[in-house]
Amino acid sequence: GDSVTQMEGPVTLSEEAFLTINCTYTATGYPSLFWYVQYPGEGLQLLLKATKADDKGSNKGFEATYRKETTSFHLEKGSVQVSDSAVYFCALSDQEGTSYDKVIFGPGTSLSVIP
């Protein structure tokens, strides 16, 4: 079945450092790919998404490119801030041979940004 793998955390960075959180997936179809962010004490919220190969999703300075050849959707930000401290979830949505799409979340990567 489909699956999502993320780099293990926690990740600790200094403010203004470059961020990469790796995400790779396996899917039977042509999935859509998502990054969700969970700030402390809150529910998840969509950060960005890409629906087909070579699409780039971007939001709040974060970017991720849908790479079909490497089955990856790595999250990047050029300069992180303390307010980016959160847990980041990579996810995919795939049909999996049914009438419905199924969304699968990765295990999450915790990011702490220190001043």
Partner 1 sequence: DTAVSQTPKYLVTQMGNDKSIKCEQNLGHDTMYWYKQDSKKFLKIMFSYNNKELIINETVPNRFSPKSPDKAHLNLHINSLELGDSAVYFCASSQDMLAGDPSTDTQYFGPGTRLTVL
Any idea what the Cα angle at residue 1 is, between residues 72 and 94, rounded to 5°? 60
For position 44 contacting partner 1 by CB under 8 A, the verdict is: yes
Q: Report phi then psi at 83, rounded to 5.
A: -70, -10
For position 24 contacting partner 1 by CB under 8 A, the verdict is: no
Structure tokens at 31: 């999935």
Sites for partner 1 among residues 64-103 (CB under 8 A): 87, 89, 93, 95, 98-103
- Which of 42, 69, 70, 115 is the binder for partner 1 (CB under 8 A)? 42
Type of residue at 44: L
Secondary structure of residue 71 in the 3-state scheme: coil
Instruction: Name the residue nearer to partner 1 (CB basis): 92 or 113.
Output: 92
What letter does residue 83 receive in the DSSP assignment?
A: G
Q: What is the largest CA-CA distance in the chain?
A: 48
Among the listed ranges 18-26, 37-45, 62-70, 73-81, the one in contact with partner 1 (CB under 8 A) is: 37-45
Binding site for partner 1 (CB under 8 A): 32, 34, 36, 38, 42-46, 49, 51, 87, 89, 93, 95, 98-103, 105, 107-108, 110
